[in-house]
Amino acid sequence: MQNTATPTHCPYCALQCGMNLTATPDGTVEVSERADFPVNRGALCGKGRTAPAVLSSRVRLTSPLVRSEGTLVPASWDEALDRIAEGLSRTRTEHGPDACGVFGGGGLTNEKAYTLGKFARVVLGTSQIDYNGRFCMSSAAAAGIKAFGLDRGLPFPLEDIPKTGCVILVGSNLAETMPPSLRFFNELRENGGTLIVIDPRRTKTAEQADLHLAPRPGTDLALALGLLHLVVAEGRVDEEYIAERTSGWEETRAAAMAHWPEYVERITGVSVPQLRETVRMFCEPESAMVLTARGPEQQSKGTDTVGAWINLCLATGRAGRPLSGYGCLTGQGNGQGGREHGQKADQLPGYRKLDDPAARRHVAEVWGVDPDSLPGPGRSAYELLDALGSDIKSLLLMASNPVVSAPRAAHIEERIRSLDFLAVCDVVLSETAALADVVLPVTQWAEETGTMTNLEGRVLLRKQAITPPEGIRSDLEVMHELAARLGVEKGFPTDPEEVFEELRRASAGGPADYSGITYRRLAEENGVFWPCPAADGQDDAADSADASLDARAGDDPAQEQDDDLAAAVHPGTPRLFLDRFATPDGRARFVPVSHRAIAEEPDAEYPVLLTTGRVVAQYQSGAQTRRVDELNAAAPGPFVELHPRLAERLGAAEGDPVAVVSRRGRAVAPARITTTIRPDTVFMPFHWAGEGRANTLTNPALDPTSRMPEFKACAVRLEAVEG
């Protein structure tokens, strides 16, 4: 272990906050402030401060496990890897390559996500690969590509937010999900800007807003259309911008005009005066932004919903201009990079499309394989999970816990149990890992080096700070060993920098071009924003400069080589679209959309709407945070948040057990009674397994474009629980 502080990044959300880690003589790891990183300037939430707790052997896996007579028991690495290779090989032989599924995670480094996609397509030959990031921001990605030709969570750095005039924050509770980011919005208001929060709950974030709109869950699309209607009716359209930089306005304008304010008020529950005030606050400043998160995105119409908010930005000239634009607040640590480099069902590294012949040729050349050998696009995340045990017989799963996180979770648990073979690589024994035939303990954030891409599109180097415990291997080592056992001896290096060098070549020329980014740059800079293509001579200059490092003592030759490198390096792209959009003609595209109902509206049998989300002390499926004592003390278990009027009708008091029942199942949790939620809506956090599992209830209805499930709105009824 090292005794000096290592600058690195938090293992949790997409802020990827900077922190310093120090290994102490007693074997623990201490977190300290890292003020030089611009995203958090040293600030950390409780999850970041307590992150080293999961490094403890008390909570993490320390040995491979194999199932013997129904029980997971310790085994050697060779036995565990042989079992996985045999299981996958048997499935391929008996049922074909597409009977092998691969499911990844938005917390994997870029190197591991890249290698996992390559492993699926080159070693297994399967098209059946996707990842839990599909549940994160796929709707925003789809809408961004339609409108701008490119998707990157934020097309500008977070530091631009305090300098704009107004921000509309749609369906995000940053005060609990990304607490260090809230300071940008506080600074916005201190600078005279305004914050509008749209959320059916009066969250801690909404309490900070100048205006809070509380629409009925699932009506964000109608709300955005109503605002655009008012922009047109009140003469606030930027006609010059539309003519110069967009296409498709007339059809979009016509669709918006069908959503007059009183009609939108009936749908959303947001009053006409609030709609008008929102338009005034958004349009009067010289600059403004719209930021969306899971609220509008996790719907069966999420792509259209985000598209409507983008249309509002385009109609008012608030995209592709300084301090203005649309952005998506990515949730998972590497939700952005995780899909850019190949673990999404339809994508190859560099954000290339799998069904594009030129993209296939480029990547196949880097991989040294025949383009025709690469399988085509596969199923999306939920569809892949739903096919387990039927079309898909074996599954290799990394860094995900779908038993808790997937919609219609009880059904997905049944599908996982029906597999012929399941192998899981994880840090802890999650609820999903507990069902596996083989579980491999792998290194985690502080024990390995790798790159992550945060919500700004900033590629970061997360450095190894400590040595992993004996008997722990990295996911890269796992894939190297499995590839060799399955007949592919080369092409799966275990050194993350070597993998990144290959990723650079594979991404070169693609929409998410990392070819100009090197580990050396990342070690010296606070991240590099993609796209960052390699300039002519960059690699030659870099090699020359690296060769001179040992001799550097202020002599002129070494300095000249560094100057050559600096001249060759692309600076990265912190701000997208200022000159043109990433479409063939350089224009942003309006996409006309119209309101439609959620997939499952309330009725007499299920009269209440359920929406789900997170709490500040837990993260995602809770597989890691539920093992941290301090976090469990702050958020010990699930709850049902409901309005006093709803509680009175049910006869429930604070803390009473309440059953929430949907067409998919039943969950029970204590009542939390509050006036900060709509009377027609209940809220449950989704971090827990067992009888309080919120995703037992949620609806897997899919967006037709993004294939995002409708986590954010489904019909339920409430029942009192005796005792």
* Confidence (pLDDT) at 3: 64
* Token pair 């110069």 in the structure block, residue: 244
Q: Is the dihedral of CA 80, 83, 85, 88 positive or negative?
A: negative
Q: Please give the model's pTM, rounded to 2 decimal places.
A: 0.94
Distance CA 645, CA 680 (A): 9
* Confidence (pLDDT) at 553: 37
Q: Which of 549, 347, 429 is nearest to 57 (CA)?
A: 429
What three-state secondary structure class fits 284? coil
Q: Is residue 554 scored above 80 in pLDDT? A: no
Distance CA 705, CA 699 (A): 17
Distance CA 38, CA 95 (A): 51
* Confidence (pLDDT) at 536: 72
DSSP code string of 150-200? ---S-SS-GGGGGGSSEEEEES--HHHHSGGGHHHHHHHHHTT-EEEEE-S
| CA-based R_g, the chain, Å | 25
The pLDDT of 160-176, averaged and rounded, is 97
Rounded alpha-carbon distances, angstroms, from residue 182 to 45, 176, 551: 11, 9, 45
The pLDDT of 382-393, averaged and rounded, is 98
Confidence of residue 26 (pLDDT cuts 50, 70, 90): confident
DSSP code string of 426-453? ESS--TTGGG-SEEEEB--GGGS-EEEE
Q: Which of 224, 123, 240 is nearest to 487 (CA)?
A: 123
* pLDDT tens digits, one per residue of 40-92: 999 999 999 999 999 999 999 999 999 999 999 999 999 999 999 999 999 99
* pLDDT tens digits, one per residue of 333-380: 998 998 899 999 999 999 999 999 999 999 999 999 999 999 999 999
Higher pLDDT among residues 244 and 722, named by residue:
244
Q: Is residue 560 scored above 80 in pLDDT? A: no
Higher pLDDT among residues 515 and 28, named by residue:
515
Residues in the chain, total: 723
In degrees and rounded to multiples of 5, residue 213 shows phi and psi of -105, 135
